[in-house]
Amino acid sequence: MLDVDDKQCLVGANGPLLLRLCSTPHPEKSLQTAPRINRHQYCIAPGLPHTFMPADSFTSYGWLVCLWILVTPFQYGYHISALNQIQAALTCSNEPPAVDELPACIPMSDVTFSMVTSVFTIGGLAGSGIANLITDGRGRKGALRVCSVLMAVGAALMGASSSVLFLMIGRFLIGVGSGIGICVGPIYIAEISPARISGRVGILTQVGVVLGIMTTQLVGLQFATQSQWRYVLYLSAVLGVAQFVLSTTVAESPIWLSSKGRLEERKVVAHRIWGIKEAASDAVEPLLEEGVDPLDAERPQESVKMHQLFTKEYRKPLMIVCFAMLAQQISGVNAVLYYSNDILSKSFPALGPYLSLGITVVNFVMTFPPIILMERMGRKQLLTLSAAGSILSLFLLGYGLNSGSVPLSSVTIVTFIMSFAIGMGPLPFVMIPEVSPAKAVSALSSVALSLNWIVNFLVGFLFLPLRNLLSGGDRYLEGRVFYVFGLLFLSSFVVLSRAYR
């Protein structure tokens, strides 16, 4: 148990930080009820009723801000699989195109469709690369406003397309918006979340992503016809416009406001999202935001530039977040999701369109256990459990494919998705703001998410050629590719585990 006179408290994930105390001793000594002081609590001078005014949760307005932020990862997840269910209707696979100003479908080969799909990843990489500049210059809210505009314009352009070119331009814009949003969203949520629930709230980013994936599968089933496929894209455009319009009511991140020296605005925001009231005394001094030197609490913090991340001070956080993102994507999760329909269709040929939906439902449901398990088990143990289950499932999936065991292959796909979803899916996004100093979080996020997009693209691009190369055309050797992913995943996780202590 800590005492106020110890002049030390635990603030967030960065461990012990010195607390600038009020000059007169406090009447209340015990911090037993708050062993982990929230970064948004206040130190109050004698004569006032409480030593600390905790912000253990959001106000109703704070939860609405959180919901507004989560529209961005939802849109990202939505567009990951937006074209999956409507592919046949979009590409004229079933019927020839009608001659019209706005054709019912757009003829394209599998290679062309793959190019349209993959340009999303290229846009995402570009967005991640510029996210640091936008979020530091325009703020967290400003960056998501830019993201919402890109999403709305890109989705509307795809919905109104009459050629492959406009489809690609629209999907590229959506990718740029997704790249910015998936960098900024987790930071924004972490910075507005009270420390007692910050980890659990951070998981909501991944919940938003998988909910978006599941929603687009459901919507796609309903509108996968030549007369209706455009509605799948228009729905995203409407959501982007709504997010932009509602942004006028949303508060900026208090930590970003502090870093820019806008302290009065920060106080107003703190009251609105946490319910903290300013005391009628000059002795009220806010505790420091995570990662900020206590003696410099009131000074604007200069953001770290990309090239500074390779200095000794930031080398370890950089290594942790990069290997977390590398392990997440090199696990081959997107390849497993891609391959699942082919495998499961062998067991249930009549249920083809519903198989991908079923996998996304499993993914969505298993995203919720980490909200509880993360605090009970800790980040490291949960990551280890998740990685162990995923790696074992990959090897068993490979064996099942090579031995021709459809039941084993089917079961291990589900166990892989379940194992991945409880840890390796959400936790890398939670880790970025937790292991990063506040002034470096934007730069670290941009680097980590850029790596995520690059590896995502490489895995998707190389999966089928690698599978064919290793199998030599023998369908009973196609499981070898999952042995490779299992070994790569294991290697990257060992490095992550040693760095993340």
d(CA 418, CA 425): 10
Q: Which residues fall within 8 angstroms of residue 376, CB to CB, at 6 or more apart?
A: none
Residues in the chain: 501
Do residues 68 and 201 touch, judged by C-beta distance below 8 A? no
Greatest alpha-carbon span in the chain: 82
Do residues 183 and 446 touch, judged by C-beta distance below 8 A? yes
Do residues 136 and 84 touch, judged by C-beta distance below 8 A? no
Cα dihedral: 294, 300, 301, 303 (round 10): 170
Residue 382's pLDDT band (cuts 50, 70, 90): very high
Helices 406-421 and 333-347, axial angle in degrees (round to 10): 150
Residue 42's pLDDT band (cuts 50, 70, 90): very low
**Mean pLDDT lowest for which of 154-158, 300-304, 437-441?**
300-304
Residue 29 has pLDDT above 50, yes or no: no
**Mean pLDDT lowest for which of 86-100, 108-122, 219-233, 313-327?**
86-100
> What is the reported pLDDT for 301?
56
Once rounded to an integer, what is the mean pLDDT over residues 311-324? 90
> What is the reported pLDDT for 41?
38
Give the predicted TM-score (pTM) of the model: 0.76
**Mean pLDDT lowest for which of 13-27, 84-98, 209-223, 467-481?**
13-27
> What is the reported pLDDT for 424?
93
Residue 453 has pLDDT above 70, yes or no: yes
Residue 68's pLDDT band (cuts 50, 70, 90): very high
Residue 33 has pLDDT above 50, yes or no: no
**Mean pLDDT lowest for which of 72-76, 149-153, 377-381?**
377-381
Using H for helix, E for strand and C for coil, what is the string for 49-110? CCCECCCCCCCHHHHHHHHHHHHHHHHHHHHHCCCCCCHHHHCCCCCCCCCCCCCCCCCCCH
- Position 138: which residue type? R
Cα dihedral: 44, 49, 50, 55 (round 10): -90
Structure tokens at 443: 């730069």
Once rounded to an integer, what is the mean pLDDT over residues 62-75? 95
> What is the reported pLDDT for 311?
85
d(CA 146, CA 180): 8
> What is the reported pLDDT for 57?
77
Each residue of 336-361: pLDDT tens digit?
A: 776 676 666 666 766 666 777 888 88
Structural element, H or E, at residue 18: strand 16-18
> What is the reported pLDDT for 405?
87
Domains of the chain: 1-54+263-273+283-292 (no CATH), 60-250 (1.20.1250.20), 304-501 (1.20.1250.20)
> What is the reported pLDDT for 363?
87
Once rounded to an integer, what is the mean pLDDT over residues 306-316? 83
Residue 37's pLDDT band (cuts 50, 70, 90): very low
CA-based R_g, the chain, Å: 24
Helix ranges, 160-260 (H)? 164-192, 198-202, 204-223, 230-246, 254-259
Do residues 440 and 290 touch, judged by C-beta distance below 8 A? no
75: left (phi over 0), alpha (psi -120 to 50) or beta: alpha
